[in-house]
Chain A
């Protein structure tokens, strides 16, 4: 046995985190760099937004807020945002729970298919469903025309709830899926064994245990709905919401202070919901999602329930397919609803206006993706494995992008990086930075989850044999969390490709983004071109998805069989 080295003589109480920092210069440097980056690119822009709203000119005042609250239509857009968020969150949570329950608690057919399908809206351009809804139910929509629905007005709250629910219920599903998987089947069997009927088991065990998960899912969707910009921009009609108003005031009306005040008002409910979800609901949780699914035993549900759930899932599936199919059809039809003859004209046009955007989007996403991936893994690693002062704060800030609506970020970046020495607006760099710091939390979360499952002693063995902490991270830790790393990469790429709310503030003539182009094509009702561009975007993202699956499958296969 070797003599205990000085590095193992930790002080028993307190000070150990400072001590570790001083002992490990690489860690110290990493923590400093990460903290500086997070402060500069996440906190500082938010501070600038807030500052401008309370200091429109040279003195501090609440005038801007007073004006906003005095104007009925701005007040209304605040309430509208909350109403939309509430409805979308409620419907999404219900549908998400139905899917999660059907997939985890029944033996209905096609479960694998449904499991894959619900991920589809996650990787689609955010307002693709809006495009489909306009094509189906808009003024020239085929359903509108076929059924002669003259009074149908899809623009506004109804359309938005429909579109947001379809695109956001997967968020609820993913949360609830994890929760239902983590409920030990022994609990339900135990209840059944003590004489509870299946319905009583559901009511007294499954549902109460899912409740924190349901609240969590609801709040997550609520935050996403509040932050959604593109759907209300296109489909809002007279139904004004905060994200759109903030954008319009800031860019269209050139009333920057009012824009920032609206952004702050948007940030407040989003932040509150996020904080409640993260620090209250998740603490109430009875189930710890360990990533280790408990043995998947299934209590048989009654055939009646089984087929009702199956029918519901099929129905949602059909809606999703109809939406996708519509966009495909829209790409090949001359004038939708008016002249339904086949044409490739939109492809030619889209090629002309879109090629530069496609190239630029791909370039930006391709640069941002690996940076995001590595940065996220480094942050995850120091959060899980290292002790240093301020760790909780750093962890919180790194997750902030989940809570901050893109509109707020976009405004913040414009304000923060518009003057030397940080003159970045108009450059590719500002867009890449925005991608990196907005898409990083997904990677961090999956990195943290998979690091938690890797026994710390594996890394200790490496340092024990003489490797440095940097070498250990590169050669031991990173290969072990490769699947999480790759899926983090993919989501960073997919979300960079489909981002719009923050990016719309940051694009320039030189560096454009495909989603912004699709949005403007939709707004000027060039729906054919918008369909073509959406389709191209989906194909690129699905291609990346296939690549990721291939790469992940490869690493899994190379691991030695146990």
Chain B
């Protein structure tokens, strides 16, 4: 298996819509995916992530732009002439074939001897944990097993690019977490280039080398899970990934790559901040703030919700704004009740700055 890079150049897809209008599903996308890298397209429904994936597979023709796999331009090639394999959301297992036949299907169209094909099918079924289920019909398998068959069927052809179209959305929460680790393990073991589409941010975080956050047909940000979470490039990204508080602030001065801002009457240093002047927004995750009995910004607790692993507070700042604070691992003896005064502290290493 030789991992290939994938390149999207100025990719545009416009669909005709009822009433003679047009819908731009993908709006000028540029992206380079390195060989062996696992990249996730993350975004709300309708953001163009699935359309982009389908263009890579060849099910949709780009309106303009290019798709390169390796150094070859595949933009106009038919799906069966591209070396991609997709794991479908519906699994798309062929109901009239056994598990083995399903997994071996793609090898029929590649120059593989019967014996080699059988060996490859066996090997891959072992890799994904399907030993002994080869003679079953897909309908006799559990959801998680069907998922593995779908994965095995795509892997066995050793595609240049592996494509995932929300493959875990039909599984229950526990199995979903387990399978995403499995997928990541297999992908890394084989060192295969993969594109994964999802709207579930924790899935994207857990799986990806890099995440591409998309909105309305455009890329909002490309980065590692840490970069996306800690240094969101836009308000959309900050808001889409996890919970976030936007606090109005004023940039006072810059110190190298850091900015000194003023928020609720305090000076806060934001490291590695974008070059902004004047009014701005301080981006603070709920877990980057702490409530304590003394020292800090005086606040009033408005409400609290016990989440097991954390206590979620809603607190009111002196200027009347409300923010959400997570106290992780809460001890029930020192929690705050609604209406109680408290003091808010901020982890300035975990704050970020965005335009107002």
Contacts and interface: CB of A to CB of B under 8 A. Distances in A.
Interface of A: 184, 186-187, 189-198, 200-201, 204-205, 208-209, 286-287, 297
A286 B97 CA distance: 11
Given A187-B94, A189-B79, A204-B94, 4 more contacts: A184-B90, A186-B89, A189-B86, A196-B106
A186 B106 contact: no
B94 to A, nearest CB: 6
Interface SS of A by simple majority: helix
A297 B59 contact: yes
21 contacts: A186-B88, A187-B92, A189-B57, A189-B59, A189-B86, A190-B92, A191-B94, A192-B78, A193-B80, A193-B84, A194-B80, A194-B85, A194-B105, A194-B157, A195-B110, A196-B106, A197-B109, A198-B80, A204-B94, A204-B108, A209-B96
Residue with the highest number of chain A CB atoms closer than 10 Å, among B58, B96, B110:
B96
B153 interface: yes
B25 to A, nearest CB: 14
A286 B96 contact: yes
B19 interface: no
Nearest to A286: B95
Contacts of B80: 192-198, 201
Given A196-B80, A196-B108, A189 B96 contact: no
Nearest to A205: B94
Contacts of B92: 184, 186-187, 189-190
A283 to B, nearest CB: 13
Contact of A193 (B79, B90, B94): B79
Shortest Cβ-Cβ A-B pairs, 6 listed = A194-B106, A195-B109, A186-B92, A190-B92, A286-B95, A192-B79
Contacts of A196: 80, 105-106, 108-109
Interface in B292-337: none
A365 B109 CA distance: 58
B96 A190 contact: no
A190 B86 contact: yes
B163 to A, nearest CB: 8
Contacts of A286: 95-96
Contacts of A297: 59
B56 to A, nearest CB: 11
Nearest to B163: A193
Nearest to A186: B92
Residue with the highest number of chain B CB atoms closer than 10 Å, among A194, A198, A286:
A194
Contacts of B95: 187, 209, 286-287
Contacts of A197: 80, 109
A42 B89 CA distance: 48
Contacts of B91: 186
A208 B157 CA distance: 23
B106 A195 contact: yes
Contacts of B85: 193-194
Interface in B148-188: 153-154, 157
A128 B30 CA distance: 63
A506 B91 CA distance: 56
A448 B58 CA distance: 40
A444 B59 CA distance: 40
B92 to A, nearest CB: 4
Interface string B73-87: 000001110001110
Contacts of B108: 195-196, 200, 204
B164 to A, nearest CB: 12
Contacts of B90: 184, 186
B262 to A, nearest CB: 48
B104 to A, nearest CB: 10
Nearest to B59: A189
Contact of B96 (A184, A194, A195, A208): A208
A190 B88 contact: yes
